[in-house]
Amino acid sequence: MNNLFEQNLVERINLAKTEKEGKNKDRINLKLKEFQENIALIDQRKQSIADEKSYLKYIEFLKSLVENTVEQIMAPTVDDFINFINRLSTNQKETEKLRKFLVDNYAESKLGISIDSILNQQNALEIENSIFGVLIKAIEKDLKAKCDIFLNKASEYSNNIDSFLEEMENTLIGISELKELQYTDVTQLFTKEQIENKIDFYYDIINLVIEKNQSLKPIDESDKNLEALEKIKRRINGINKCIALLDKSNIINSNDSAFQNLFLRFTEDMVKYEGGLDNNLEEFIDNKWIEQESKYNTINEFFKNKQTISYDSKWDSYPNKDDLLSIILQYNSQIKENILDTILKKSVLSIQQSLTVKSKAINDFESYSASVKDNILLVFKNTLSEYESKNLALLDSLAVSKPSIKTICTEIKESLEGLKNGINSLEKSTDLISYLSEDFQIDLNTNNDITSLFRKALKESGMSEHLNWLESKLNGADNGTVSSQDFGNTTLIKELLDKGLIKIEIQKTF
């Protein structure tokens, strides 16, 4: 029985020695040597056993000697671990309890494997000049909270030690595997392709993303249930995704430096923590920025084609000249100030308001411009339709008795072709102001020439008296009424009817 007890103690020393083989070897060998030197004393004590009392003293002596030796063998590792725990928690009284517990239980369990692993990974929290220094501090703070919870329940060490060490080990291993935590320069986050794409243009935005994403504060509901390690991975993945989003935005590929700088002015607006920075940045680029970009382009294109124009009195013959006066007045009002010249000096809110107001004014102008263009087309198309459907046939019939009219008909047809070309050109044009400035006078002259040539042909046909009578009745209008007195000129009215120059409609008045 005695030999069995002694053997158990010796096995305990051998187990401690085996578990620490190769680690603190010199220290262990020294302690084992001291233990060996006590063999003679052990034998001496053993020989002095005479009764139960002296036996119990011998057992206590042997137990104390073994415990001391085991503690000395284990102490270096345990103390290293306790020092690590003391970094996380200032609860010295409780850490002493933990130290005693570990010394008492270290050799009889597999705790040493986890503790060794933790000590091997502890430098994961000691990265100098890491760009994620704040995040590493947040990790350390989270580990401290878990340590305090564990240390404050000394009576439950035996039940909780395995899960406590496992969680700490997994966290340290996990963060040590995150290569980004080792980075000391933001540029280490960039791929070769991103560097070639001049990702450094977005440097200030990326720095802000990194700064704001170094927190374990929940970013959404799903984040609340994540452990610290998973949150850390999510933060870093979010940063990498933000960099990829910026790289794909193609802002840097614009040849417009003002446009590029305008994007940078929204840095604070696009970098929001709640909900996830990557989600917020993606939402900004895909929606809000697209909206601002559209307004910017509307204004930029408008002023890119800016020109000087004023109403020409030669346009007075155009039936809707008031439209022309109005559109030119509105245009000259719009080009007085290009807000893009000073946009970068404004606050973000003022930028958005200015872009909205100016782009709306330009869009309203363009809508009105489109209606004026349609009216011009309508005037010219009506002329074209009237001559192709009726007037040319009339002149051809008049030319039978008056061959000189054929020459005029040829001129009218040539003018109609010119008017067709003008109509086609105007239909394709998206810039009414340029059209008014460059081509309108030509098309208006062509339209007027057609009417003048038609009147000339009618006069040569002997219809001059008829036309004069008709003008006197209508006073420049397109329609009017006749009375019984007018039928004194029945021959004249009949010839106008025969030539298709007028028509008479009958209406009951009773």
Segment 24-58, tens digit of pLDDT: 556 556 656 665 666 666 777 777 777 777 777 87
Alpha carbon of 128 to those of 123, 188, 348: distances in Å?
Answer: 10, 15, 37
pLDDT tens, 197-256? 999 999 999 999 999 999 999 999 999 999 989 999 999 999 999 999 999 999 999 999
Three-class SS state of 417: helix
What three-state secondary structure class fits 175? helix
Cα 362 to Cα 377: distance, rounded to the nearest angstrom: 22
The dihedral built from the CA positions of residue 500, 454, 412 and 457, taken in this order, carries a sign that is positive
Choose among 213, 180, 222: nearest CA to 280: 213
**What is the SS3 assignment for 213?**
coil
Residues 6+ apart with CB under 8 A from 246: 199, 202, 205, 206, 281
pLDDT on residue 78? 81
Residues whose CB falls within 8 Å of the CB of residue 385, separated by 6 or more in sequence, listed in order: none
Of 423, 430, 411, 429, nearest in space to 385 by CA: 423
Q: Match 């096995």 to its residue by tokens.
A: 11
Is 160 within 8 Å of 150 (Cβ atoms)?
yes
Structure tokens at 10: 């010796």
What pLDDT was estimated at residue 61?
75
- Tell me the CA distances in angstroms from 218 to 125, 147, 282, 335, one per residue in order: 22, 21, 19, 50
Q: What is the DSSP code (8-state) at residue 345?
A: G
Q: How far apart are CA 266 and CA 350, in angstroms?
A: 12
Lowest mean pLDDT, pick from 242-251, 257-266, 398-407: 398-407
Q: Residue 393 carries which side chain, given as an amino acid letter?
A: A
Beta carbons of 205 and 259 less than 8 angstroms apart = no
Residues 6+ apart with CB under 8 A from 459: 467
Which of 44-58, 187-201, 413-427 shows the lowest per-residue confidence on average (mean pLDDT)? 44-58
Note the Cα 164 to chain centre separation in Å: 41
Binned at pLDDT 50, 70 and 90, residue 75 comes out as: low
Closest CA to 115 of 142, 152, 82: 82
Q: Quick one: pLDDT at residue 38? A: 66
What average pLDDT does this structure show over 262-270?
95
How far is the C-alpha of 227 from the C-alpha of 224, rounded, in Å? 8
Q: What is the pLDDT, as a whole number, of residue 107?
A: 52
CA separation for the pair 371, 74 (Å, rounded)? 92
| 104-124 tens-digit pLDDT | 776 555 677 888 889 888 888
For residue 19, the Cα-to-chain-centroid distance in whole angstroms is 55
The candidate with the shortest Cα–Cα distance to 210, out of 133, 127, 126, 124, is 133
Q: What is the mean pLDDT of the chain?
A: 87
Confidence at residue 12, expressed as pLDDT on a 0 to 100 scale: 55
pTM: 0.73
Q: What would the two tokens of residue 172 be?
A: 């340290």
pLDDT reported for residue 52:
76
Total Cβ atoms within 10 A of residue 336: 6
Over the stretch 343-358, which tens digit does the pLDDT of each residue have?
999 999 999 999 999 9
